[in-house]
Amino acid sequence: MSLTPAFTWLTPARRRTAAAVLMAALLVPLAACGSDDDKSDGDSGSGEQAANSSGAPKADLTVLAASSLTDVFETAGAAYEKENPGTKVNFSFAGSQELATQVKQGAPADALVTADTKTMDGLKSDTGKPSVIAKNRLVIAVGEGNPKKIDALKDLSDSKLKVVLAAPEVPVGRYSKQILDAQKIDVQPVSQEPNVRAVLSKVELGEADSGLVYKTDAATATKKVDAVKIPDGQNAIADYPAATLKSSKHAEASAAFVKWLSTPEAQKILQDAGFEKP
């Protein structure tokens, strides 16, 4: 480093001292700038990235969700991401029993939403405290225009009809068995499917004359499927609990999303899709 003429009169030792002081003075502002950058780009020290404008930590979340939530959660996820810039919500949809298996096998995920409380209750050691975010009920899905003239549950016992149900270990399959048994209606399904969307698909494609699905699922296929209502006294109500997963690497962000599902904004999205208040 060269010294300015102002230092030429100093002795060599004093020149070295003056140079050191000047260098330190120049480095202080640079260090301050580096500190600010580190604070803005670093994490919060708790495993989460810096909070976004809404106060929730930024994170890439994976949410395991029941098949019947496929359409509505795509909408809800987009709304949450808009409200929480920097956060990404990825969904993995399947039958609740399949999701439970994934959790037990240690699949990397942050939150879980099932279509029944029984499945969630069986995962107490793996989840935080669940809260019900919505309810649903069953309808009879039939082809457009109801060509087989199916008007009630008792009609499903007709051996000439091709009826498809979800497997009994699937929540909607369990609900289906519950309401059919209560009415003493014997149905011999041509197939038992792994989730509600598979049941709906069979009716949509004309591979089945009817099937028992959630009303919200039937509402997603109105161009190919009609829904025959089931009286409340003969129906079953499905509860949808949501919970964080203890194995999540984004505990705060996961808890924020699960809490958001009960907010007025999220509830409006769910109810607009046909789900009922929790």
Rg of the chain over all Cα atoms, to the nearest angstrom: 29
pLDDT higher than 60, residue 63 = yes
Q: Does 145 share its domain with 195?
A: yes
Q: Give the tens place of pLDDT for each residue, 95-144.
A: 999 999 999 999 999 999 999 999 999 999 999 999 999 999 999 999 99
Has residue 204 been placed in a domain? yes
Do 130 and 251 lie in one domain? The reply is yes
- Per cent of the chain over pLDDT 70 is 80
Helix axes 251-260, 70-83, angle to 10 degrees: 110
Same domain, 162 and 186: yes
pLDDT reported for residue 223: 94
Query: pLDDT-based confidence at 55, cuts 50/70/90?
Result: low
Q: Do residues 128 and 257 share a domain?
A: yes
Examine the domain organization and report whether 192 and 164 are in the same domain.
yes
User: Is residue 148 located within the same domain as residue 221?
Assistant: yes
77, 115: one domain:
yes
Question: Do 92 and 208 belong to one domain?
Answer: no
Q: Does residue 278 lie within any of the structural domains?
A: no
* Domain-embedded: residue 216: yes
202 falls within a domain: yes
Q: How many domains is the chain partitioned into structurally?
A: 2
Whether 225 and 90 map to the same domain: the answer is no
User: Average pLDDT, whole number, for the chain?
Assistant: 86
pLDDT of residue 24: 44
pLDDT of res. 30: 40
Does residue 5 sit within a domain?
no
Is residue 144 one of the residues assigned to a domain?
Answer: yes
CA distance 256 to 240: 18
Torsion 268-271-275-278 (CA) sign: positive
Same domain as 147, residue 123: no
Residue 211 lies in a domain: yes
Residue 49: predicted pLDDT: 56
Tell me what the mean pLDDT of segment 226-239 comes to.
97
Task: Note whether residue 24 is domain-resident.
Answer: no
Question: For residue 130, what are the domain limits?
Answer: 60-135+241-272
Instruction: Report the pLDDT value the prediction gives residue 22, as an integer from 0 to 100.
Output: 41
Q: What are the backbone angles phi and psi of residue 129, rounded to the nearest 5°?
A: -70, 120
Same domain, yes or no: 86 and 141: no
**CATH (domain of 143):** 3.40.190.10
Instruction: Label residue 165 by pLDDT band (50, 70, 90).
Output: very high
In this structure, the answer to whether residues 96 and 187 fall within a common structural domain is: no
